Structure 1
Amino acid sequence: MSIRLFHTSVFFLLFISFFGESFAQQSSTLEINNAGLLRGGKGFERFLGDVEMKHQTSLIFCDSAHFYREENRARLFGNVRIQDTEDPITTTSSYAEYDGNTKVAKLRRNVVFTNQETTLHTDYLDYNRETNVATYFNNGKVVDSTNVLSSERGIYEVNVEKITFRQDVVLVNPDYTMKTNHLIYLTVPKTSETKGLTNIVSKEGYRLDAQTGSFYDTQQKQFRFFDGIVETDQSRVKAQELFYDEAQSFYEGKEDVRVLNKERQVEIFGDNGKYWEDRKYSMVHGNALVRKYFEVDTLFMAADTLISHDSEADTAKYLLAFRSIKLTKTSLAGIADSLVYNYSDSSIRLFQDPVMWDQKSQIVADSMVIFIANEQLDRVFMKDKAFAIMSDTLLNFNQMKGRTMTAYFKEGQIETLDIDGNGESLYYALEADTLKQGVNRILSANIKLTFQDGVIQKANFGIRPDGRFIPVQMIDEKSGSLEGFAWRIDEKPDRAVIDSWRKPVEIDLDATNLFNDPDVKLEMPTEEQIQEKLGKTAPGAEKKASDLKSAKLEL
């Protein structure tokens, strides 16, 4: 043999050795490693007892098998187990079909798919070893160290540790139960994401609902809801995007936030807000609004920022409002720069140029305190530069001013007015409530006025009052009003003003909730129905379905 021919032969042998081994490793042919008994069959080989097959990195075990050598596929009967030698994946079932060309295993009845801490239970599973994707249909259950998830259909993408659950999805863990129709669960970080309607009930009975989906970190116990509501015995919190940290009992809402304190019957609205449930402390800002419910009436208050605290101590139960305060009730309206509402005594403290209106009256002071009793305005205390104006039946303005002033109300109208310090009063004398006679102007350290239907009926003055009467024909602009008089009725807010600031959209308390739907027992579909769902109906499907029906007889 020549040297050239020798070198050529060696190269050819090395080429065959190297690429032959590579081809063998990549071969998609099913191999028979072991079987107790071999029997011939029509178009297939029948193996009985302790069957072991091999396909690339997978070992396949079963009690018996039909091996279609030319088609490179097998039907597996009894105690089927497919075990990957490289990945920690094991699948068991009562029956399976395995295609060596497509690398697809169709497992039926009592299927258990295990990947480390995650186990999937179902009766119908298609597992594509090429893509490492397992698809189940007609009810499946996934169990890991924290959660149990079930649904009618699902896709398990093993390479990315992602499971997508569809239709009648239920997630159960020690802290809560979730229902939805579309959930994506990542098994390693143990996070779940839902799309569409999502309803949750916690172990304490709290309700957490989202209309357009949610995200939940099951280990950190942090929720994020979209168009969501969280409801407890004491409160209800809603927002377009609502974050909830269960461990911290903390909520944060964005867009159309609302917090209802059920005990106090106070509801707060705003663009953004935060709420600490344990402390019962909330802060809302951005076109903020308060709605205080009474039995027969409702008080509305608009502000830029609201802070509410409802702690166990009575002295620490309050509501703070800042900037551009506007409030209105059926017989009450007011404005101020800032406000404090004390829940313990139902008092409202107004600061920085507050103005209050009640039917026919207006009161102004540097600061004032309003007390509400039995859902009605009870009394108002005004401090420093207090000024009260009441209109009579002829629309004249009766006026009083002093250092401090206390007005007492009955059935929504002023009944008495006490002025203490530097008191001044100006009120019109009428004849039969139809004819103006003149003006009474009185200076006194202390003045007490009694009213009926908003008209002064009686006046009591302190020691040595200084007064004079001005006939109607002598009344001019100066004598007809006290210094500092300003009728500011055009600033009086009403419901239209409140609604232009923020008009709450009422919550639909009867909205669809999946927990209200009865549990439905699913019927097992036929193979044809499965293939139709998957959109994979192929020639010969009827024969395969027939083979599947007869599989139990052939075990």
Structure 2
Amino acid sequence: MSLRAVGLLVCANFAPAVFDYMTRISFLFCLVLLISFSGEKLFAQQGSTLEINQADVLIGASGFERLVGNVKMKHQNSLISCDSAHFFRAENKARLFGNVQIKDVEDPIVTNSRYAEYDGNTKIAKLRNKVVFTNQETTLTTEFLDYNRETNVATYFNDGKVVDSVNVLTSKRGVYEINYEKITFLDDVVLVNPDYTMKTDNLVYLTIPKTAETIGLTNLISKEGNTLDAQNGSFYDTQKKQFRFFDGIVETEESRVKAMELFYDENLAYYEGKEDVRVLNKEQQTEVFGDEGKYWEERKYSLVYGKSLVRRYFEKDTLYMTADTLISQDSEADTAKYLLAFKSIKLYKTDLSGLADSLLYNYSDSSIQLFQKPVLWNQKSQISADSMVFYIANENLDRVRMKDKAFAIMTDTLLNFNQMKGRQMDGKFVEGQIQTLEVVGNAESLYYALEADTVNQGINKILSASIKMDFEEGAVRRANFSVRPDGKFTPVQLITEENSRLEGFQWRIEEKPTKETIDAWRKVEEIDSKQKNLFNEPDVKLMMPTEEEIQNQLKKSGFGPDKP
């Protein structure tokens, strides 16, 4: 066989394999080209390149170009203009100088600055010096702003100010999420509008509903001088003028309201508090506490319920009262000022204690009416009736009137029980001690006859239509009767427990409320007057120089250490 024949035979056998190999190579090459083309197209769709639309002068090659005068560029939906620019075509970046403006043709967003850096790949614009960011009615001004057009988020630092149709907000740092119309202000935040000024360190502001939410300490002063403070943040609807404060205090010239959660509607002048509520009436020097409460400022009407407590502040003492529910009404007219209390009434003052089912306190005459078989203790006496009213003057119990089944018990110097009872009883007190008692209707009295306040001689028991007695330290000094009395004397040796008690006698000293009783009902945590308030912080912070700075300044002044 010739060499040519051998060659033809080999080629004939090998050709299909070669053809198959070449075919696969061509396919892979085409696939690579297709992928490369698709990638370039995908990159062009996603990243896009910066385009030069206009410039008075164009200097440079393809790697770096300098654009001077009336520069106009375009990137996707953004139109860019400036006085001059450095365009890095390969990196798809530009540095912009003088009268920089980036305007979105679809969204109403315009940014202005003196200098900016724009990255066409990441869509991030870094704007510096006299930055103004505008979105419809909202304008943000700062010196340093990073604007991510991909996420539509603008971030500023080193002080910024946001102005809309209602409010002006300033802070050290901030994040503006345009898609959500949300701005987060951080560090030294101040919100100012025509009605008030607010300070905090963390505030989230929604520009469309114009609501402000704070985290942590928040302090506010209204144009009238009222203050609103919260330790754990707040929520404020600036259009509806509704506040919600957490661990908050609202203080006006006339009142102070505090609660763990406090709601305030400025238009309605209405407060609502939950958990540890307290309302102070400064004029009446009365403070009420409870689990929940409501207060109508214009009506000066408050409702507090849930383990309620009242503190009536006097110059030298405080009257405490517990109840399930409290209703307080203040008014321009003295006769319309009152406090109502219902259920579980307990009274305590240094020299006065009492029990009742319900109570009415009239501010005009400092009278306290007790209902449903009340009991009152005053130093050495105990008085009870179906109802009674007593008056406080000069911080002491002054007089009392008891109606129906009135019963009075006084202990003398030997701790004997002097007793009086009848249909109606009037008592007069001097410096807190009972001085006179007058009983009208079915009057009965039982009192011990003492010699020199030290020797018990016996018991006088008297029945009469009316009886009036004068006392000194609980002992009877004088007795007067309207008609001839029916009396009986029992010598000391014949005294028994039975004949030494009037019918209905009950000495209930173990029920007498004490300060411990009040504290067990509701232990009040006093307001810390030294709590931090951002309005007390100086606006200008003085920075102390470092030791190195001091030495350098001394050297410049010629007072540095001598050279060797």
Distance in 2 separating the partners of 1:475 and 1:456: 18
1:161-176 residue pairs with structure 2 within 5 A? Answer: 161-176=181-196
Letter in 2 for 1:239: A
Deviation string, structure 1 residues 275-295 (Cα, Å, up to 9, x no partner): 001011001011100000001
Quote how far apart the aligned CAs of 1:431 are. Answer: 2.1
Distance in 2 separating the partners of 1:43 and 1:103: 20
Distance in 1 separating the partners of 2:523 and 2:47: 70
- Which residue is 2:377 aligned to? 357
Quote how far apart the aligned CAs of 1:23 are. Answer: 6.5
Distance in 2 separating the partners of 1:416 and 1:80: 93
- Which residue is 1:271 aligned to? 291
Give the TM-score, by structure 2 length.
0.88
- Indicate yes or no: 2:186 matched with 1:129: no
Closer, same or farther in 2 for the Cα pair 1:68/1:352, shift >3 Å? same
User: In structure 1, the residue corresponding to 2:526 is in which secondary structure?
Assistant: coil
Q: 1:321 aligns with which of 331, 337, 341?
A: 341
- Which residue is 1:453 aligned to? 473
Closer, same or farther in 2 for the Cα pair 1:295/1:479, shift >3 Å? same
Quote how far apart the aligned CAs of 1:476 are. Answer: 2.1
CA RMSD in angstroms, aligned pairs only: 1.8
- Which residue is 2:27 aligned to? none
- Indicate yes or no: 2:260 matched with 1:240: yes
User: In structure 2, the residue corresponding to 1:515 is in which secondary structure?
Assistant: helix
Q: Which moved more, 1:36-45 or 1:384-393?
A: 36-45
Letter in 2 for 1:136: Y
Quote how far apart the aligned CAs of 1:118 are. Answer: 0.8
Quote how far apart the aligned CAs of 1:182 are. Answer: 0.3
Letter in 1 for 2:314: F
- Which residue is 2:113 aligned to? 93
- Which residue is 1:336 aligned to? 356
Segments of structure 2 that go 5 or more residues without pairing to the other structure are 1-34, 544-564
Equivalent residue pairs, number: 509
- Which residue is 2:416 aligned to? 396
- Indicate yes or no: 2:492 matched with 1:472: yes
Quote how far apart the aligned CAs of 1:434 are. Answer: 2.0
Q: 2:168 aligns with which of 143, 148, 151?
A: 148
Distance in 2 separating the partners of 1:497 and 1:27: 75
Asked which structure has the greater RCO (Cα within 8 Å, sep 6+), the reply is 1
Q: 1:81 aligns with which of 92, 96, 101?
A: 101
Deviation string, structure 1 residues 420-452 (Cα, Å, up to 9, x no partner): 111000001122222221110000111110011
Distance in 2 separating the partners of 1:50 and 1:521: 43
Letter in 2 for 1:515: F
- Which residue is 2:130 aligned to? 110
- Which residue is 1:186 aligned to? 206
User: In structure 1, the residue corresponding to 2:510 is in which secondary structure?
Assistant: helix
User: In structure 2, the residue corresponding to 1:478 is in which secondary structure?
Assistant: coil
Q: Which moved more, 1:476-485 or 1:15-24?
A: 15-24
CA contact (8 A) 1:138 1:522 kept: no
Quote how far apart the aligned CAs of 1:511 are. Answer: 1.1
Quote how far apart the aligned CAs of 1:353 are. Answer: 1.0
CA contact (8 A) 1:25 1:56 kept: no
Distance in 2 separating the partners of 1:521 and 1:339: 55
Letter in 1 for 2:429: F
CA contact (8 A) 2:47 2:122 kept: no
Quote how far apart the aligned CAs of 1:521 are. Answer: 7.3
- Which residue is 1:30 aligned to? 50
Letter in 2 for 1:360: K
Q: 1:68 aligns with which of 67, 81, 88?
A: 88
Distance in 2 separating the partners of 1:345 and 1:458: 30
- Which residue is 1:4 aligned to? none
Deviation string, structure 1 residues 223-254 (Cα, Å, up to 9, x no partner): 00000000000000000000000000000000
Closer, same or farther in 2 for the Cα pair 1:68/1:154, shift >3 Å? same
Larger radius of gyration: 2
Quote how far apart the aligned CAs of 1:82 are. Answer: 0.3
Segments of structure 1 that go 5 or more residues without pairing to the other structure are 1-14, 524-555
Distance in 1 separating the partners of 2:62 and 2:44: 29
- Indicate yes or no: 2:429 matched with 1:409: yes
Distance in 2 separating the partners of 1:514 and 1:157: 27
Letter in 2 for 1:296: K
Quote how far apart the aligned CAs of 1:313 are. Answer: 1.9
Closer, same or farther in 2 for the Cα pair 1:300/1:42, shift >3 Å? same
Quote how far apart the aligned CAs of 1:40 are. Answer: 2.2
Distance in 2 separating the partners of 1:393 and 1:369: 28
Q: 2:159 aligns with which of 139, 154, 158?
A: 139
Structure 1's consecutive aligned runs of 4 or more residues displaced over 4 angstroms after TM superposition are: 15-25
- Indicate yes or no: 2:174 matched with 1:120: no
Distance in 1 separating the partners of 2:175 and 2:315: 53
- Which residue is 2:438 aligned to? 418
Quote how far apart the aligned CAs of 1:508 are. Answer: 1.2
Distance in 2 separating the partners of 1:125 and 1:53: 20
- Indicate yes or no: 2:530 matched with 1:515: no
Letter in 2 for 1:78: G
CA contact (8 A) 1:393 1:434 kept: yes
- Which residue is 1:387 aligned to? 407
- Which residue is 1:553 aligned to? none
- Which residue is 2:270 aligned to? 250
- Which residue is 1:282 aligned to? 302
CA contact (8 A) 2:244 2:263 kept: yes
Letter in 1 for 2:451: E
- Indicate yes or no: 2:511 matched with 1:491: yes
- Indicate yes or no: 2:279 matched with 1:259: yes
Letter in 1 for 2:369: R
